[in-house]
Amino acid sequence: MKRPALFSGPGLKALVVGGVAAALVGCAGGGRVAPTVEVRVLAINDFHGNLEPPAGGVRIPDPERSGASITIPSGGAARLATAIAERSAGSQNAVMVAAGDLIGASPLLSSMFQDEPTIEALSQMGLALSAVGNHEFDEGLEELRRMQNGGCHPRTGCRGPATFKGAGFRYLAASTIDDATGRTVFPAHAIREFGGVKVAFIGLALKGTPSLLAPSSRAGLTFLDEAESVNREVAQLKAQGVEAFVVLIHEGGFNPAGDDKCDGLSGPITEIVPKLDKSVDVIISGHTHRSYVCRVDGRLLTSAGQYGTMFTDMSLTLDRQTRDVVRSEAQNVIVRSDVFPENPVQVDLIGLYKRLAAPLMERSVGRLTAPLSYVRDPAGESDLGSVIADAMREAATGATGQTFDVAFMNPGGIRGDLSKSGEVTFADLFAVQPFGNSLTAMTLAGSEIEAVLRQQFRTEGNKILHVSEGFSYRWRRQADGTGSLVSGSVLVNGVPLDPARNYRVVTNNFVASGGDGFTAFAVGREVTPVGGDVEALESYLGAHSPVSAPARGRVVLEGGDDVR
């Protein structure tokens, strides 16, 4: 069908903060079958196990003060379930879908039960289909298959109230190949029929998923090109008479406006969409945790932020004769705490798991003199990142009796702040380090440490590692946005780094195995596991309470430009 130009076209709506959807027309008068079918698609992405409302809610422009913003308390599975139910009420053709990362990097309430509560909650609220995201593979393919099919965890067993039943929705994985079989790890697509018209939903992860996983998690898997994977499915399905296509893809874009406006939308999704077969009607995206409703290459492109704080409410009109989508419009709806009441079934489910988790979650582990933020300064340092690196180094020394020269912590492994002074609980620690990583000690030569530092600087965005006390260096911003290590600037306890000398280093297992592109750690020798990351931070807080923010200056950016 004819499509409007880039970022244009009718039916695009601004961000909605609550309210009830208009009823959809299903039939013409007089008993005649209408020539079109109305379908409602309700979509989420990047839920990340946020069963309870996340801190921070959603920030929107202040309607009363130009240039200012306000925070809307929002989210939580109980209110999301109510919102989805309200928006689908009155429609005979409603389906809830997702664009991946429903689990992984989850708060303690979900992660301590291997994300089983999240799978249960989403199944209860009626989720039907979801693309796999990179975080679905955090613990490897077999664990993801357990999420789909059910059963007890092979190591921790069944921690919940009963044997885990598995997802009531279907994962889709058009681009993820099981090397042992040569087939996709889950179905590539699912077909839903509305009023006699078939709609194909094709789900897939981003091609770059392996770089976001530990080698053990990506072993035996191949991630194919996104557009090629979608187009392969479209060709096969069109041969079967399907004309309406919705893509669920765990890849996204960035909108500098920070709201649903698409002015200046950038990122991988803007390069993928034009490569898709023109028969694709709608792309529901994720991964970047942004919210937008756009037209790209004439197709409707959406993303609903993060953590269940909003969802996309989409209306599709299907032509019964052509079997194609002839109209599409969407709006992102904030799951406002003051608009949507809590669903009692979800409240009961979450309450059950909270009671099971309470003894661990509420345990006091230490105190802070002031909040510790993970927001990085222009050089790449953060208060919380430095404390975590210090904790890693101290834990490695305690576990081995050896002296360690430096700890490296990846910024992506820190998911929030320790936002209050005073008492810190185990739940607080797990919220900022939810991956359950282990610590890995190794020996690296000074020249190999320099190689690690240089791998921080890259064209797609610098990834500055947090370092422990006693280790410091300087770097410069280059014209292309990358960085360069200042020669001779690396100091270990005030002494210049010796390229020929061996140093003892500790990092987490994700980085040690090449995660986030830090392949230079692969040459490490005398590699030894030295405990867990959360346990290291817990021990550090217990030994040093009350803990204060360390002095800055471990990482120095000459010129002081913003970190990317």
Residue 227 and residue 135 in one domain: yes
Burial category of 388 from C-beta neighbours within 10 Å (exposed 0-12, middle 13-18, buried 19 and up): buried
Check if the beta carbon of residue 145 is closer than 8 Å to that of residue 298. no
Which letter does DSSP use for residue 31 in this model? G
Where do we find the tokens 């209860």?
A: 124
pLDDT tens per residue across span 17-36:
443 333 333 344 456 889 99
* Position 411, amino acid: P
Supply the range of the domain harboring residue 442.
Answer: 363-558
Q: Is residue 140 within 8 Å of residue 187, measured between CB atoms?
A: no
- Give me the number of domains the chain comprises: 2
Query: Shortest CA distance to 125 belongs to which of 203, 247, 24, 43?
Result: 43
- Are both 314 and 373 inside the same structural domain? no
Check residue 436 and give its pLDDT.
78
CATH of residue 336: 3.60.21.10
Q: CA quadruple 544, 546, 547, 551: dihedral positive or negative?
A: negative
Among 354, 388, 403, the domain-final residue is: 354
Q: Count CA atoms closer than 13 A to 456's CA, side-chain side.
A: 28
7 located within any domain: no
Q: What is the pTM of this model?
A: 0.77
At residue 369, φ and ψ (nearest 5 deg) are -80, -25
Domain identity same for 453 and 479: yes
Q: Is residue 473 located within the same domain as residue 492?
A: yes
Does some domain include residue 89? yes
Same domain? For 405 and 325 the reply is no
My answer on whether 304 and 375 are in the same domain is no
Buried/exposed 344-353: b ≥16 CB within 10 Å, e otherwise: eebbebbeeb
Looking at the domain assignment, is residue 460 inside a domain? yes
CA distances 136 to 48, 114, 345, 511, 526, Å, are: 10, 11, 25, 18, 31
Residue where a domain terminates, one of 306, 335, 354 = 354
Q: How far apart are CA 147 and CA 168, in angstroms?
A: 10
Strand 466-467 versus strand 495-496 pairing type: unpaired
Query: What pLDDT is stored for residue 370 in this prediction?
Result: 97
Residues 330 and 372 in one domain: no
The reply to whether 278 and 385 lie within a common domain is no
- Backbone φ/ψ region at 231: left (φ over 0), alpha (ψ -120 to 50), beta: alpha
Task: State whether 194 and 319 are in the same domain.
Answer: yes
9 within some domain: no
Q: How far apart are CA 419 and CA 410, in angstroms?
A: 20
- Is residue 51 domain-shared with residue 148, that is, in the same domain? yes
Distance, CA of 564 to CA of 269 (rounded, Å): 19
- Which CATH number do you get for residue 461? 3.90.780.10
The residue out of 332, 354, 376 marking a domain boundary is: 354
Per-residue pLDDT of the chain (564 residues; tens, 9 = 90+): 333 222 223 233 344 444 333 333 334 445 688 999 999 999 999 999 999 998 778 888 888 888 777 889 999 999 999 999 999 998 999 999 999 999 988 888 998 899 999 999 999 999 999 999 999 999 999 999 999 999 999 988 888 999 999 999 999 999 999 999 999 999 999 999 999 999 999 999 999 999 888 788 899 999 999 999 999 999 999 999 999 999 999 999 988 765 566 878 999 999 999 999 999 999 999 998 889 999 999 999 999 999 999 999 999 999 999 999 999 999 999 999 999 999 999 999 999 999 999 988 889 999 999 999 999 999 999 999 999 999 999 999 998 889 999 999 999 999 889 999 999 999 899 889 988 788 999 999 999 999 999 999 986 678 999 999 999 999 999 888 889 999 999 999 999 999 999 999 999 988 988 888 898 998 999 888 888 899 999 999 999 999 999 999 999 999 754 443
Q: Could you give the CA distance from residue 316 to residue 313 in angstroms, rounded to a whole number?
A: 10
**Cβ burial, residue 546 (10 Å; 0-12/13-18/19+):** middle
> Are 395 and 514 in the same domain?
yes
Alpha-carbon distances, residue 103 vs 47, 79, 562 (angstroms): 7, 18, 31
CA 114 to chain centre: 16
- Between CA 245 and CA 78 the distance in angstroms is 30
